[in-house]
Structure 1
């Protein structure tokens, strides 16, 4: 993995030495006080953003059924969570799914490693960051993005469900965006599985007691999440959810003559 001082990737481009940019494309897009410069620069940005969508759609169109695995970039190969990430990747491929991660180190690398060692599809969706992470060595299909929102679209569009392992703010961002898209009906319900009751249990208690307890969310929203402890439970839960949602869609189609919105089924249970 190259350090920031050695090399830097922005989309398809590689920079080294004094050519390394001082700000990311996202930071440049969101920078305040740009004056009238936006009128000249932003139309070209739109073209770059469009190109990223086209590249992502074209690269992933034939991916097949896949599950996104999220988790901390900081976990080391000798950590228990890294080992569980490897097992999750392997079991997903054994169940017939490809694995999609952010392509970086830690739990992302672990899930890609499990998929790679199982002979399955191991996808990495990288992102330009102020520090260079690079694509981990277990990715066999990788795409690097300039813009977070384009990358997020690819995670949702090409995944049948999410398995979320312990992680930091980036993992929370991905988790709650997925929940919001399902809750608001922007995407059809798909299984969202959290791994690790010791890590996620406090957050789920807060959701139940504060968000739902104080009327900030509805009781049904809690049912959008399944909390488990082992890789086997995680893969079984996501596969079960996909099959239930497919059956619900078929039932709605046969009754109404058109596919309706699948229900959340039996999600929300904590399994031991």
Structure 2
């Protein structure tokens, strides 16, 4: 009764059983349902910032305390706080947000065989089966990412965000790295290897902001948000003036 291979393996295999022909149409409906649920529950969310970081960060550690302070500072600045809903850095950010009256603490969880459970400081929680659906929600309903120390999952979200900004899939979307000691080696590698070999352009380095200060991280988000709002207003005024001109 135990399958000898996974659905993904059978789907991606060049040869083998063709049951994917019958299974995938139903899988599409499940994916669609996840999008519908996410859009429906998050549509009226106030301006929000997503905080990423390791699920393995212990409570009481310096990184945990920093994340908790960050969640509180973002909430005080008027932002909802979105995390992956799990323990560690995510729990700390949600916890900090809940300390502020009227703030919204959101957890977008993912179905995993280990580590993940929805933490106790989430006001609105959604569980996803598919990473790509969950990632869409992070980007669509956030006006910026702040990334604390983490592992492969954190790096995945970080570089996907940078790719979306670099390719203009999202605009005016700040990506902040909180913790210069942790991120310093990665940034040096990006400068020396990626930029040094021409794999990225010099202006791509401007897509990343690095700080050790929670207040500065929040300020970067606020400034970018204001700049985006100002640009949108100018575009609306220009469009209105164009239509108001006599023909």
Match of 2:177 among 194, 207, 222: 194
TM-score between both structures, scaled by the size of structure 2: 0.89
Match of 1:125 among 100, 108, 126: 108
2:219 aligned partner: 236
Match of 2:151 among 168, 178, 183: 168
CA contact (8 A) 2:105 2:121 kept: yes
Quote how far apart the aligned CAs of 1:201 are. 1.4
SS at match of 1:222: helix
1:136 matches 2:119: yes
CA distance in 2, matches of 1:183, 1:242: 18
1:50 matches 2:29: no
CA contact (8 A) 2:172 2:224 kept: no
Match of 1:61 among 21, 36, 43: 43
Structure-2 change in CA distance of 1:132 and 1:209 (3 Å): closer
Q: Deviations over 1:175-224 (max 9, x none)?
A: 00001011111112311111011011111111112111211001111101
Gaps of 5+ in 1: 1-20, 259-272
Gaps of 5+ in 2: 241-247
CA distance in 2, matches of 1:22, 1:92: 46
1:28 aligned partner: 7
Match of 1:148 among 116, 131, 136: 131
1:226 matches 2:209: yes
Structure 1 vs Structure 2 CA RMSD: 1.9
1:103 matches 2:85: yes
CA contact (8 A) 2:55 2:115 kept: no
SS at match of 1:193: strand
Q: Deviations over 1:145-198 (max 9, x none)?
A: 000000000000000110111101100000000010111111123111110110
SS at match of 2:150: coil
1:80 aligned partner: 62
How many residue pairs align between the two structures? Answer: 234
Quote how far apart the aligned CAs of 1:131 are. 2.2
**Larger Rg: 1 or 2?**
2
CA distance in 2, matches of 1:53, 1:79: 35
Quote how far apart the aligned CAs of 1:144 are. 0.1
Q: Deviations over 1:227-255 (max 9, x none)?
A: 00021111111111211232234345545
Q: Which runs of 4+ in 1 moved over 6 A?
A: none
